Amino acid sequence: MPQHKFSFTDSKPEINIAFDQAAKKERRIWFYLLMIGIVLASMIIPVSNAGNEIIAGQYGIGSISQVRVFLPTNGSFLSSPAWQFAGFGSGNTEGKVVLSSCDTNNDGINEIIVGK
């Protein structure tokens, strides 16, 4: 039976070691990405009730803060800001949204409350 004489000058072990190190590095990267994904998924906080399908996003900063209402049924924001969510007062420099009313469909019930 022919036998291979191992030599430190043989390039195959070096290639195998380099390949093994690259594979370990790739597995480590995938592990870190998985951990980041798990952490981010645990940080997601729902901001609206899926039953009424209303989502609001802040529009503007400071005393001109407003909230645009997004309706997932048609996939777009309302063309103009919802003024019932308008932030007001020159002292509102932190971008806080001040809610004067949340009744977007005039049924006498406040649909959502959004703030910072």
pLDDT at 26 over 60: yes
pTM of the model: 0.23
Higher pLDDT, 31 or 41: 31
**Contact indicator for 67, 81 with CB cutoff of 8 Å:** yes
Quote the mean pLDDT of the chain: 59
Ranges assigned E (strand) in the chain: 55-59, 66-71, 76-77
The H-assigned helical ranges of 1-116 are: 11-43
Q: Which residues contact 57 (CB under 8 A, 6 or more apart)?
A: 67, 68, 70, 77
pLDDT digits 0-9 by tens, 44-100: 555 544 445 555 555 555 545 555 666 656 666 556 555 444 444 444 455 555 555
pLDDT the model gives residue 80: 57
